[in-house]
Structure 1
Amino acid sequence: MASHESNRQVDPVDVEIDLAVEAGDWPPRSALDALAACAVEATLEEVGARAGHTVELSLVFTSDEHIRTLNAEWRGKDKPTNVLSFPAFPVTPGASLPPMLGDIVLAAETVLSEAELEGKPLDHHISHLIVHGLLHLMGHDHEENEQAELMEGLERRILARLAIPDPYA
């Protein structure tokens, strides 16, 4: 029987999170800082991330209007979305992390609407989207079924570390 637990010992990755609240009706900055720190730590632990240096990550909390502009410019989709990830460097899953991971951008109105519609606590949904965005920055994707199953499995295990119920159930 395959196990998802890793027996290898890895040194924790030192991550510097640059968090900015640009626009939107978000929880207090201190709450966002705490959610981000826990989500990032759980993600790095679950995937056994390694780096011989401090890793930088940018988190931007903004409005649907701003993310719509980004989505149109970078993905050719003229509509808001919940989260966008912009990797600073190409990363292969499991490879050592670069000094800068990139940017994760979340849209307030869409995130709040989804949490309400799905009956999820807002902090759980924000944590899930940070995890999802971070996995993208670490080279994971969900364009094909096999990739999606792998990424969703990782998200489930990471969120379980945070005592957050399976968002895909």
Structure 2
Amino acid sequence: MTLDITIDDARWQQAQLETLTTQAVRSTLQHLGLDPETCELSVLACDDPRITDLNGEFRDKPSATNVLSWPAEDLAADLAGGAPECPEPDFTGEIALGDIAISYDTCVREAADAAKPLDDHVRHLIVHGVLHLLGYDHVRDLDATLMESVEVEILGKMGVDNPYTENDSP
């Protein structure tokens, strides 16, 4: 697997982003039947000001967000709730998936607000980002249902609780 991680905010190093990202990407690709060794993607580990700039530039939403994804190709299904197309290797045998950016500030805040471990939230967001690279989305209701169910399955295999259920702890 070619995984290019750029640490733009040093706090990510303390959060063990490289280990969490590798685990989440590998688990996602294997779950979907893709050989991780043939796939390549990049991750930018940044802060809220940087992701705000990116969100404004690429989505016309100049506000912080947790994760952004730029797929190398559009693999989305035409029909709502349909499975995305499977990516094809290029002439070198590699599958270029695209790029992800993740914000430390927003991730930490969301994990704290949900009373969830930061490691689990980061793995969830990386899985979420990789699924976007692979054509999954949550704009249409049926697509959101599919994407969330796939996320929950992948996270469960990693020992991460369903992020879409309320935390029962006090």
Does TM, normalized by the shorter one, top 0.5?
Answer: yes
If the TM-score is normalised by the length of the shorter chain, which range does it land in? Answer: 0.7 to 0.9
The residue that corresponds to 1:117 in the other structure is: 113
Out of 16, 19, 22, the residue aligned to residue 2 of structure 2 is 16
TM-score, normalised by the number of residues in structure 1: 0.84
Contact 1:50 1:96 in 2 (8 A): no
Out of 134, 138, 141, the residue aligned to residue 134 of structure 2 is 138
Out of 21, 46, 49, the residue aligned to residue 34 of structure 2 is 49
Once residues 57 and 87 of structure 1 are traced to their aligned partners in structure 2, the CA distance between those partners, rounded to angstroms, is 9
Q: In percent, how many aligned pairs have the same letter? A: 41
Tell me the CA shift for residue 48 of structure 1.
1.6
Letter in 1 for 2:87: S
CA change 1:134–1:97 in 2 (3 A) is farther
The residue that corresponds to 1:163 in the other structure is: 159
SS across alignment from 2:11: coil
CA change 1:24–1:144 in 2 (3 A) is farther
Tell me the CA shift for residue 46 of structure 1.
1.5
Out of 9, 17, 24, the residue aligned to residue 39 of structure 1 is 24
Letter in 1 for 2:129: G
5+ residue gaps, structure 2 = 77-83, 90-94, 166-170
Once residues 24 and 71 of structure 1 are traced to their aligned partners in structure 2, the CA distance between those partners, rounded to angstroms, is 21
Letter in 2 for 1:18: D
Tell me the CA shift for residue 25 of structure 1.
2.4
SS across alignment from 1:26: helix
Contact 1:141 1:151 in 2 (8 A): yes
Tell me the CA shift for residue 96 of structure 1.
3.0
- RMSD across aligned positions (CA): 1.7
Out of 138, 144, 150, the residue aligned to residue 148 of structure 1 is 144
5+ residue gaps, structure 1 = 1-14
Contact 1:18 1:57 in 2 (8 A): yes
Provide Cα deviations, 1:68-124, integer angstroms capped at 9, x if missing partner: 001011111110000000112222424134531111100111110000000010010
Contact 1:55 1:97 in 2 (8 A): no
1:35-114 aligned at under 5 Å gives the runs 35-49=20-34, 54-92=38-76, 93-98=84-89, 99-114=95-110
Once residues 37 and 117 of structure 1 are traced to their aligned partners in structure 2, the CA distance between those partners, rounded to angstroms, is 25
Contact 2:12 2:45 in 1 (8 A): yes
